[in-house]
Structure 1
Amino acid sequence: MRQLLTGIARRTISSCKLTLAALAALGITSATVPSAQANSKYAAIVVDANTGKTLFSSSADAARYPASLTKMMTLYLTFEALESGRLKTSSKVRFSKNAAAEPPTKLGVKAGGSITVETAILSLVTKSANDSATALAELLGGSEAGFARMMTAKARQLGMTGTIFRNAHGLPNPAQHTTARDMATLGIALHEHFPQYYDYFSTRSFTYGKQRLANHNRLLGRIKGVDGIKTGYTRASGFNLASSVSDGNRRIVAVVLGGQTGKSRDNHMAELIRTWLPKASTRRGSGDLVAKAGAASNSPIRALTALLPGAKEAPRPKPRPEEELTAFADTEEAEVVEQGDAEPDLVEQAYAAPIPARMADIDPISTAAVPKSGWSIQVASSPSEVEARAFLTRTTRQAGDALADASPYTMTFEKGGVTYYRARFGGFQNKGDAWDACKALKRKKIECYAVEQ
């Protein structure tokens, strides 16, 4: 049996170009090699930054959620504005109510306050501050939605064909997706196009007020040659990391998406670096690997808008409703952000499933009228009614008998001019029945909470 497992492991490793150590870093042993693809969030790539050659790849072109790797593009456009003179590092970045309301991690600047562009940059590369990302987006794009269209247009100009951005920070949005290959392309572009600003990514920590903010990238200072770039995490994406590494003449950019823990992701990245950096070319090709598009103000954005959602279709900035709480935090500790003592609203849970190829592929459930009384359980909330209904459909299928007598429905509320859709199941006679249904759902790993109509 041992010889059989060893043979299977060797054949699988050969086909995937993975070493046993790399598999072990992912929690995959010789006994589990056949199920190595069980983690549907995982994708990875290693690219020789001198030649552009792909040294290693696994699901590199599959759609994945970027989480805070999104901020790499936010910084690309910020560096572009600095290079063109539209901004200075001393320019002020004002925080709107929308920016100040972003959930942690954040700097915590109050609405109406401001910081310098340099402070905003440092807060993105170290603390991954969501409020700073939104503030930069509103400064450069006029609005968060406008900046997201600029981000996607820039991605197309850089050859990132599998990426769509809908916000500047990477907080959950089901329409925002990327690929490992695209993130590697962006990592190479940041180093090639903005060498004068690239050193920001190697910042180990910086001080803001009385806070000392450490970089989330734990490979800095741990793995020789690592000089950036960015970490990211949401429950939907798993643990992400893009790394740029050089040993003098050689340079690679590696991306790991969908790690199950921060530690396993870091260990896997370290193994990829040890395995593939020595095999990278020592000779630099002529010209940039990633064509440098013109500055946003001069680039053919209008010609690209046919590829992008129209202004009316683009998501609006998402003020956080006071009663709607975000069960998500972009930190390595994966904390839950809560406001007040209420149960968290489960916005992020609606985005935990694999990315659908098209929203039309989803068969939304027919929903009942909003109950006038009684108890309900809430399973999600979304600014899109289609998404809320789709989540009800998915929950119904997963729940089985737990919701046999419940009626799915959506109900709306507005906050800051934005309409949200709560996804709920009604028909419970009392609080105890609703709580029991929630307990049954949680045993199936479906989050929910009870609410009285």
Structure 2
Amino acid sequence: ALGEAIGGSEAGFIRRMNQMARAMGMTRTTFKNANGLTKAGHLSTARDMTTLGRHLLYDFPQYYNLFSRRSEDAGVRTVNNTNRRFLDSYRGADGIKTGYTSAAGYNLVASAERGRERIIATVFGGRSTASRNAKVAELLDLGFRRAPSSATLRLPPRPPYFGKGGAPAPSTAPPADAPGGSGSSQRPPAGHVVRVVTAVAKSPRPKPRPQQATPAASDALLAAIEDGVEDVVETTTPAPTVPPVTELAETNLAPAPAPAPPVVAAEAAAPAPAPVPAPPPRPQDVTIAATDPSYSPVEELEIVTHVSTSGDGSWGIEVGRFTTRYDAERVLLKIALGDLGTLGNALRKAANRPDGWHATFVGMSEEAADLACRRLEARAQKCRLVGPG
């Protein structure tokens, strides 16, 4: 009814929708109906929907608070916001819009503000509300980690207003003192994405290491070396070669001289060292610890896999009970890696009790434990608060 009142007919309103989308820079969006249901050729992209959410935030700031409401009184009944689970589970979330069809899946254009930083993220094609919200939370966390701490705000250019005839109507931009007014006839240019390529196209070959040049030997030096070598060769005479003896003359045979008697030292022999007494035998009643299989020097202690540094350390959350310690620790590690923002500093503990291994995160403040539990429940993960004691 609103579309027909503005555009004269549904077809006329759809034409105005496509004109406005092009004016806002949504170049890959085509509307075929006003209700958003599946139809051939009716399509958009996550980037175009993010652009639409940015215009909605900055072009109509006086109405943006509607998207952060959890419910609204329609007169005959109270209507709940379909995005209330994400608004409650993600810190700083204040919008924007969910969407679902069997062909497109679970979709969400979300926005969150922390301090002076705002991130808008869009997810298309989720398999469930929980998986979609988890992916959006992951994208927003990534945006807040990479967002610069100081940057110039670049508002998107306000698109022209198309009248009933389809032509742009006179500008209705608010004055400088009104909400959203810029104080000039033209708003600042829209921001653009800068992709920095850090990989080099070609790796340069490193320069060779400089080597110290060896000075050329002079002719006089070479002559002196040669003379020295010749002198050494002349002074060195080879040993005479002894011919083999084939027979001996009788006149040359002489008795060999008797060996000289050994010389006896005049000094007295040194006294022999005193004998070292042998150690006493080991008593038979002494038991060596290393040979006793029942000996246990240290009592087995519980392994702490992470040190807690958050809050007063008196609260925790339980995420399930398992039949083995391995299963409990595996689930704890998987959940911790999926939500480092709230569980990165918590202590993972698998406690053996009569009904099984309890998988818990401990060492948290009450606020951190409550936030972590709500975020896990939004992802269809069972969670229970564990108080002090």
Q: Relative contact order: is structure 1 or structure 2 higher (C-alpha 8 Å, sep ≥ 6)?
A: 1
TM tier, smaller: 0.3 to 0.5
Q: What TM-score comes out, normalization by structure 1 length? A: 0.35
Q: Greater Rg, structure 1 or structure 2? A: 2
Name the one with the larger helix percent: 1
TM-score, normalisation: structure 2:
0.41
